[in-house]
Amino acid sequence: MAPVLILLAFLLPLGAHAEEIIGGHEVTPHSRPYMAFVRSLKEDGNRSRCGGFLVQDNFVLTAAHCWGSSMRVTLGAHNIKAHEQSQQIIRVAKAIPHPKYNSENKINDIMLLKLERKAKRSKAVKLLKFPRANARVRPGKKCHVPGWGVTSFNATKASDLLQEAELNIQVDYQCQKHFLHYSETTQICVGDPRKVQLAFKGDSGGPLVCDNRAYGVCARVNKDTTLDVVTKISSFLPWIRRNMKLP
């Protein structure tokens, strides 16, 4: 998969039926300097694209289902098709998926990418902080998911420009109704049925950002219910720190 953003807003003008407006919201260039564009090759030989985010100078966090061969990340990008001077393209030295990741139900869908060299920090390349230990976001909280994914359900081409969707934190029960194997311990339910804003194909691995901290990693989506499931980072902080060899 790759980074994706779907924003569907329902308008109810007087005397009219509800109409759908489909379109992404482009962010100000380089205003999300932690974002990483992740490319790889899948077993079938097809190219894959995902989102990710810089958490240490030589580590990017993404989803485990984004794993592939010949992995590389692009940092400092806004337009991934342009040769922006701010961009840094770095090969992945080692992919570290969570040892208990289940590819069938997407439980423990989180992966660290150790880069071959350290990124050079700049205005366009910065780290995204983790939440504090045991931190949680309450239902109703508005958070954001940036990515380079598709901008409609029927799109065959993903966006070249970094987009962003605003998502509300939902009660766990909403996702328990619609997703098999949903875990309130390791996952967060997000979405907004009134606006139908989703992280969709291509946005996998991107961060759920609340109050300028990464609370989740995009993992699954149900377009029929306009709900996303994200991996809850706070549940994996010991594993992350251990693999990055942080105190």
Catalytic residues: 65, 109, 204
Token pair in block for residue 72: 């590389």
Neighbours of 136 (CB within 10 A): 13
How far apart (Å, rounded) are the C-alpha atoms in residues 172 and 209?
A: 18
How far apart (Å, rounded) are the C-alpha atoms in residues 43 and 60?
A: 22
| CB-CB contact of 240 with 61 (8 Å) | yes
For residue 223, the surrounding DSSP H or E stretch is none
Alpha-carbon Rg for the chain, nearest whole angstrom, is 17
For the chain, counts of helices (H) and of strands (E): 2, 16
